[in-house]
Structure 1
């Protein structure tokens, strides 16, 4: 039995890349997508479970898997999960914007509460390693609301006793978003030369595929630390 991967936040920029790369990665026998709704995607390795994130602590993984497995084909997988005899990694890229969320309060619920509560649930299922997409400048005492929330998430995730926690801190993300963001598009144009020449690697814009690849690589490395911040500079080398 190979490894099992959970993805939370599969509909976003990095989530889509994670999904693509994990489905191609032979180290993972199954990929479980966790979300509010199903993706229009089918793959022999993919299992999709959906639910209300405000109620995630009451989610029953056994029941949810059985609902998706009418033929009993993944019963051996559930056996290994329940016996904790399979290595499980989780990749979280869940996040939104204040504009999309509609308010700071709703943004906080999605970017902080849903992320932390999901991480607790994942740990309870037996996940040993969590890779989380934070942001450059994440700081719980920052005066910038976005950075403050990301910083608070990082601190709250550190309390959960995962074997390893990887905190990815990318700069401006490049890739094909499903929605148009004027500010980001303008920033991409201004900073494009930085990408070409890898100038100022700490702040240089980075492609979604690079972040996803770095997450999977670090999840599979031997680690001597329990918590690690992976900088934008390091991820640019992927």
Structure 2
């Protein structure tokens, strides 16, 4: 973790906490003693409790109106969050933002709705995080992301990556996992078939860069990157590198 003074808090802002990578990300942050607080932003409360965890229910379409300190103050009836509020108010805090927001066209219902979640909500969260004081932003994209792609999914992911470059963070880390392994809330038959095929190909030594990766590995790689003192600029971390980082 970067150097900080003794009276400075380390805080993680997280969106997409209910998803495959997001759930694992919360666990990684809870277990890491360098983080004092984890603020999760979601449309509904998680069935999860932890002393570090603060949950803020949001309309992702209205993040430009969100006052994070005021939302935390509303939940501070017992005074447990007073140290966090004080740190944010006095700016004696190091903030990193982690975004694992994402959906599928099937779940979203249309390409337009998919774009809203996977692009607009991600960029809205990034801008809110910057306004709140975050200096680092970590985003779960996808292998093959390319704003010039003829594949709609890859094109949207690529546009998000391009737009994140224009936001004034000290560091932006783009994580491009291959097919994700782990328990999902919904069944994605196409992905399951793809995982079986890709496991076979990588076992044979073919297409190693497409080797499936577990959600916890992606989450762990994100937290590892945030531990670097000198990270700066814009960086893309492919699936193969995440495998190496988390062995």
Q: Secondary structure at the match of 1:63?
A: helix
Distance 2:37 2:203 in 1: 36
TM-score by length of 2: 0.92
Match of 1:116 in 2: 123
Task: Select between 82-91 and 226-235 the one with higher mean Cα deviation.
Answer: 82-91
Given that 1:10 and 1:16 are in contact with CA atoms closer than 8 Å, whether structure 2 keeps it comes out as yes
Question: Is residue 169–residue 232 contact of structure 1 (8 Å, CA) maintained in 2?
Answer: yes
CA distance in 2, matches of 1:219, 1:51: 25
The change in CA–CA distance for 1:75 and 1:197 in structure 2 (over 3 A counts) is: farther
SS class of match (2:185): coil
Q: Distance in 2 between matches of 1:197 and 1:173?
A: 19
Aligned position for 1:191: 198
Asked whether the 8 Å contact 2:16–2:42 carries over to 1, the reply is: yes
| 1:91 maps onto 2:101 in alignment | no
Q: Secondary structure at the match of 1:212?
A: helix
Moved over 4 A (4+): 194-199
Q: Which residue of 2 aligns with 1:174?
A: 181
Q: Which residue of 1 aligns with 2:14?
A: 7
- Superposition RMSD in Å: 1.4
Name the CA shift for 1:68/1:161 in 2 (closer, same or farther; >3 Å).
same
Of 123, 142, 153, the match for 1:146: 153
Find the aligned partners of 1:220 and 1:82 in 2 and give their Cα distance.
24
Instruction: Find the partner of 1:200 among 189, 192, 207.
Output: 207
- Unaligned 5+ segments in structure 1 are none
Distance in 2 (alpha carbons) for counterparts of 1:104 and 1:19: 29
1:39 lines up with 2:50 in the alignment = no
Q: How many residues align?
A: 238
User: Aligned partners of 1:154, 1:130: CA distance in 2, in Å?
Assistant: 11
Contact 1:164 1:223 in 2 (8 A): no
Cα deviation digits, residues 161-217 of structure 1 (max 9, x gap) = 101100001111011111110101111122223566775331111111110010000
Relative to the length of structure 1, the TM-score reads 0.96
**Which residue, out of 70, 73, 79, partners 2:86?**
79
Residue from 152, 163, 171 that aligns with 1:164: 171
1:228 is the counterpart of 2:232: no
Aligned to 1:55: 62
| Residues 216, 149 of structure 1: alpha-carbon distance in 2 compared, 3 angstrom cutoff | same
Q: Which residue of 2 aligns with 1:24?
A: 31
Residue equivalent to 2:219: 212
Separation in structure 2 between the aligned mates of residue 197 and residue 81 of structure 1, nearest angstrom:
51
Task: Please state how far the C-alpha of 1:2 moved relative to its aligned partner.
Answer: 3.8
Given the superposition, is the C-alpha separation of residues 218 and 55 from structure 1 closer, same or farther in structure 2, using an over 3 Å criterion? same
**Unpaired runs of 5+ in structure 2?**
1-7
Cα distance change on mapping 1:199 and 1:24 into 2, 3 Å: farther
**Helix, strand or coil for the counterpart of 1:88?**
strand
